[in-house]
């Protein structure tokens, strides 16, 4: 287990390295819902095994789904998950005074994808998570479920919420806004084939909804009568190592990843082309260019040849932490010149120094600045074990690139299981 404060010591040697990526969290948790809805045994190969996906598995098991978990010899952070699909049948909930409890930790996908599935059951189900999850938007999804005819009780249209399952409602229709999160639409589209619902998506143009497109493509391609589904490697996780390649190539080192995401399912697949392979651009948009990997580009920006604007960052403010503020604050600690205006950050090129980074219990903050430590000496990360959310062996992968990870309190260089979150 990672200690509370670690330091990244940059590689002392040049050389080429290849990093094996774990599976995509976004694809794994969608595939788990679809497997639960399928009418037969579904084997998910290359599935990510992290805090978010374990939370989803535990909730599905509480709903009566049989799920077998086997190791994956190709990647320690992956599993082969065998799900006995039940065609949308789940365990009954409790009475309104004692609903069946489902705890989603800090997993936004579980918090959004489970309520429509619960509507297909019978009885009362209560969905809750950690304190931050109770602050994140949920209203548009709950409103859409009410449009479909289901009763949803919530004090403020956030979690915790009680869902009253009433089974499928063929012919029911709803409209859902994705202005705050595209996960609301994805949640409904995953369960719509069994629920018999028609879902209309509002609040964005189709070309602005890559994760909704991911969901639609997965629903179409999924083995609904049973079979095998391969989970693609994580493109968001790949961005840190594509970014490492960009950071280290000046020293003569090169970093490649495998397997390389190629399907086009994941919007962060574009990071390789837009940031690493093309000339650095003067502006990147969270809405039209990059998804979570825009955070990776933001921490690379001080090494860019000129000032860079990062626009349309509003959704970053309502995720695992207030990410716009966190990025500005922690980069400034490192000596970066960062200006915030509305939902735009502008970052000037300039030298960086090491600093003690607050991770805000946000896996992506920890991984962004962990990557930066490959080039900037003295980078210290507080409570970096939050990477367990999506990439539990991230720091072991940094070690494969020649970095040393040191426990600041003891001075010991970590190895083996000590590098796992």
Among all residues, which ones are annotated catalytic? Answer: 292
Can you give the length of the chain in residues?
Answer: 421
Q: Which residues contact 91 (CB under 8 A, 6 or more apart)?
A: 62, 63, 64, 100, 121
Give the residues across from 103 on adjacent strands. Answer: 128
Beta strands in 227-300 (DSSP E): 227-230, 254-258, 283-285
Distance CA 80, CA 230 (A): 10
Q: Which of 238, 258, 259, 231 is nearest to 79 (CA)?
A: 231
- Look up residue 251 and give its two tokens: 């020293």
What are the contacts of 142-148 at 24+ separation with CB within 8 A?
142/115, 143/176, 144/174, 144/175, 144/176, 144/184, 144/188, 144/199, 145/115, 145/116, 145/119, 145/174, 145/188, 147/172, 147/173, 147/174, 147/175, 148/119, 148/172, 148/173, 148/174, 148/195, 148/197
DSSP annotation of 50 reads S
For every residue of 90-109, DSSP letters joined together read ----B-TTSPEEEE-TT-HH
What does DSSP say about strands 379-382 and 5-9: parallel, antiparallel, or unpaired? Answer: antiparallel
Q: Burial level of 207, CB count in 10 A (0-12/13-18/19+)?
A: exposed
Beta strands in 195-267 (DSSP E): 198-202, 227-230, 254-258
Give the residues across from 129 on adjacent strands. Answer: none
Distance CA 78, CA 81 (A): 9
């Amino acid at each position: 287990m990672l200690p509370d404060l670690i330091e990244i010591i940059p590689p002392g040697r040049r050389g080429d390295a290849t990093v094996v990526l774990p599976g995509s969290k976004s694809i794994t948790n969608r595939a788990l819902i679809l497997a639960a809805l399928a009418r037969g045994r579904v084997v998910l190969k290359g599935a990510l095994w992290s805090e978010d996906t374990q939370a989803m598995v535990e909730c599905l098991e509480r709903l009566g789904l049989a799920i077998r978990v086997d190791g994956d010899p190709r990647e320690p952070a992956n599993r082969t998950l065998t799900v006995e699909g039940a065609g949308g049948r789940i365990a009954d909930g409790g009475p309104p005074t004692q609903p069946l409890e489902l705890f989603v930790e800090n997993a936004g996908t579980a918090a959004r994808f489970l309520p429509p599935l619960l509507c297909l059951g019978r009885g009362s189900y209560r969905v809750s998570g950690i304190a931050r999850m109770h602050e994140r938007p949920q209203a548009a999804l709950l409103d859409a479920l009410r449009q479909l005819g289901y009763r949803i009780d919530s004090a403020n249209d956030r979690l915790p919420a009680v869902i009253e399952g009433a089974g499928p409602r063929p012919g029911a229709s709803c409209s859902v806004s994705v202005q705050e999160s595209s996960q609301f639409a994805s949640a409904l589209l995953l369960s719509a084939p069994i629920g018999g619902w028609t879902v209309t998506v509002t609040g964005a143009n189709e070309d602005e909804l890559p994760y909704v497109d991911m969901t639609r493509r997965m629903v179409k391609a999924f083995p609904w009568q049973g079979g095998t589904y391969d989970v693609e490697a994580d493109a968001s996780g790949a961005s840190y190592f594509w970014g490492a390649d960009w950071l280290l190539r000046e020293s003569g080192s090169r970093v490649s990843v495998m397997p390389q995401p190629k399907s086009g399912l994941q919007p962060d697949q574009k990071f390789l082309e837009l940031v690493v392979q093309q000339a650095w651009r003067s502006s990147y948009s969270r809405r039209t260019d990059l998804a979570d990997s825009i955070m990776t580009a933001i921490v690379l920006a001080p090494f860019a040849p000129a000032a860079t604007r990062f626009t349309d960052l509003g959704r970053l403010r309502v995720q695992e932490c207030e990410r716009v503020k966190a990025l500005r604050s922690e980069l400034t600690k490192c000596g970066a010149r960062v200006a915030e205006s509305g939902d735009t950050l502008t970052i000037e090129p300039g030298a960086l120094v090491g600093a003690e980074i607050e991770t805000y219990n946000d896996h992506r903050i920890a991984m962004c600045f962990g990557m930066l430590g490959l080039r900037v000496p003295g980078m210290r990360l507080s409570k970096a074990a939050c990477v367990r959310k999506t990439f539990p062996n991230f720091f072991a992968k940094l070690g494969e690139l020649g970095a040393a990870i040191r426990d600041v309190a003891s001075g010991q260089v970590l190895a083996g299981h000590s590098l796992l979150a």
